[in-house]
Each structure stands twice: as C-alpha cells, then as structure tokens.
Amino acid sequence: MSIAAHPGAITATTYVFAATTDTGDWYVLGLDREYVHDDGSPVGERSRSLALTNSARTTDGSVAMIPLSVAVSERLPISWDAVSWTGDTLAAGKRAVDRAISCLDGRSRG
C-alpha cells in the first residue's frame, strides 16, 4: 500500500513507535518526497505523508497501513478519523505523530 503515490524521490523517512493495542504494536511512518512531473523533471516542492502501520498482515498479505495525512501537499493537517483509538492510546499516537514530524523537519533542514 502506498501513502505517497506520486513518483518523486524519497528525501526523508521516519518510523516512530506509537502504541500497543489488541492488534499489536503500531508505528507512525513518515515520508517526505520530491514532487516531479510525469516526465520525471522536478517541480521544486515536496510532500509529506504520514500513516499508522503495524506488522499485522491484511487478508491480501499486505501490511496494515492507515493514512493520517489529509492534505499532503500542505504537510498538514493530520486526521484521526480512520482510527478508533481514544484516551491514552490516542494521546500516544498524537505524540508519535509530533515526533515523526519533528524528525522529518530536522532532516529536511539538514
């Protein structure tokens, strides 16, 4: 499953532990990518994609992936609408997203 479907090169990644639930350990996966035109030439901008993932396999054998990014070209906002987490688990997930964003921001400056 892709959380960043356009073909640009990946410029930074992060993988941050978020929480343990009855379905296993969940992590925030973050990707920064360059935008490119269909011919591969650079646009000069980047996108950011964030998703929750764990090692559980779906019925088709792929890894579970829940996109969190709503407007990837704007790098924000984050939506938790596809997640049923509440309370401490949701708070832990939000802290993990903040950490993932911080890691990507630090990498994109360097």
Summarize pLDDT for 51-74 with one digit per residue, the tens.
999 876 666 767 788 888 765 555
Question: Which residues are bridge partners to 13 per DSSP?
Answer: 31
pLDDT < 70 positions in the chain? 1-7, 56-59, 61, 70-76, 108-110
As a whole number of angstroms, the distance between CA 63 and CA 50 comes to: 15
Could you give the strand order of the β-sheet that contains 42-57, starting from the edge strand earlier in sequence? 10-21, 24-36, 42-57, 63-67
pTM for this model (two decimals):
0.79
What pLDDT score was predicted for residue 6? 63
- Omega before residue 77 within 30° of 0, cis: yes
